[in-house]
Every structure is written in structure tokens, then in C-alpha cells.
Amino acid sequence: MRAERVGDNDAIRRVNEAAFGRIDEAGIVDALRAAGALPISLVAELDGAIVGHLAMSPITIDGIDDGSLGLAPMAVLPSRQRRGVGGALVRAGLAICRARRIPLVVVLGHAAYYPRFGFVPAAPAGLRWIGGHDASFFATGALRRGVVRYRPEIGDG
């Protein structure tokens, strides 16, 4: 697991396109990078090739950017899925967040997956994504009431 470097962009694109089966998420990563809104961008390598990627970008809570981040997108090459690469990326990303004292990390994702990394449902604390989907919206860190918006490159539904 390491931070992305200059020269990784094409491989990161390919991983996202293959994992999602479309170009949208790869475009989001490129747009976040171009906007300087990719404070955490990690790649996973196997046998010297990039096979996974995780991005985190700033969010606002009730319009305020306090340094909290949203985890999205994350992608692992289909041929390399279900062998722990995604989990290793999430754990590495959250370790960086703890080291940087990031207050809160949110994710829109599957209830079967993200709780194992310490994410809990956000809605019971009154923390909601403006796009809804309470049942899929998780957070870890200092949960509090508020309405979350992602970066415009990601969009809010």
C-alpha cells in the first residue's frame, strides 16, 4: 500500500474502469486530482502492478469543511477481488486519517462490508448525506448531527 505517485494516473484509471465497468469513477478521480481535492489516494500493488486504488476527498458538514473526508471511490481489479486488497486499502487509509487527526470519515457503501473497519451507521447520530440513502451511509470518528455533501466532482446524487 502506498500513496499514488506521478506516473500512476493511467494505471489508476484502468483499475477504476475495470472495477466499475464504466468510465465515471475513473473520471471522478482525475477531476478530484485536477482540483487539488485528493488528500488521500492510495494504490495497492501485486507483483509490481497496480491492482487497487482508494480515494478520499473533502466533504462538508452543514456547509463547513473541518477536514473530514469521504471515502470514494475504491476499486480493485476484478481478477484480484476477494483476497483482502480492498480491506488493506481501507485500513491503510483510515490509519492515515488517524495520524492526520481527520475528525470524521464517511462512506456510502455496503452494510456487509464497511462495519468491519469501524464504520457505523451515521443516521442514528443525526449525520445524513444530502442525497439520502441512510441505510448505506456510514461514518467513523467524531459522529455528530449534520448534512454531508461530497465534492462537486463526486456529486450528491
Ligand X SMILES: CC(C)(COP(=O)(O)OP(=O)(O)OC[C@H]1O[C@@H](n2cnc3c(N)ncnc32)[C@H](O)[C@@H]1OP(=O)(O)O)[C@@H](O)C(=O)NCCC(=O)NCCS
Query: What does residue 42 show for φ and ψ, rounded to 5 degrees?
Result: -110, 145
Residue 106: beta bridge partners? 70, 139
User: Taking the CA of residue 54 as centre, how many other CA atoms within 13 Å lie in the half-sphere pointing to its CB?
Assistant: 23
Cell numbers 475513473 correspond to: 26
The one among 2, 110, 133, 145 contacting ligand X by CB under 6 A: 110
Interacting residue with ligand X among 75, 94, 97, 139 (CB under 6 A): 75
74 binds ligand X (CB under 6 A): yes
Instruction: Tell me: does residue 76 bind ligand X (CB under 6 A).
Output: yes
Task: Say whether residue 58 binds ligand X (CB under 6 A).
Answer: no
Residues 1-20 within binding reach of ligand X (CB under 6 A): 19-20
- On the 0-12 / 13-18 / 19+ scale of CB atoms within 10 A, 93 is buried
Give whichever of 8 and 144 is closer to ligand X, judged by the CB atom: 8
Q: Count the Cβ atoms, other than its own, within 10 Å of residue 103.
A: 14
Is residue 38 classed as helix, strand or coil in its secondary structure? Answer: coil
Q: Pick from 27, 33, 103, 113: which binds ligand X (CB under 6 A)? A: 113
- What are the residues facing 139 on neighbouring strands? 106, 120
Nearer to ligand X, 21 or 124 (CB): 21
Q: Is 26 in the site for ligand X (CB under 6 A)?
A: no
94 binds ligand X (CB under 6 A): no
Scanning the structure block, which residue is given the C-alpha cell 477531476?
31
Q: How far apart are CA 12 and CA 25, in angstroms?
A: 10
Q: Toward ligand X, which CB reaches closer, 32 or 76?
A: 76
Q: Report the residue number whose CB is nearest to ligand X.
A: 86
Q: Residue numbers of the site for ligand X (CB under 6 A)?
A: 19-20, 72-76, 81-87, 109-110, 112-113
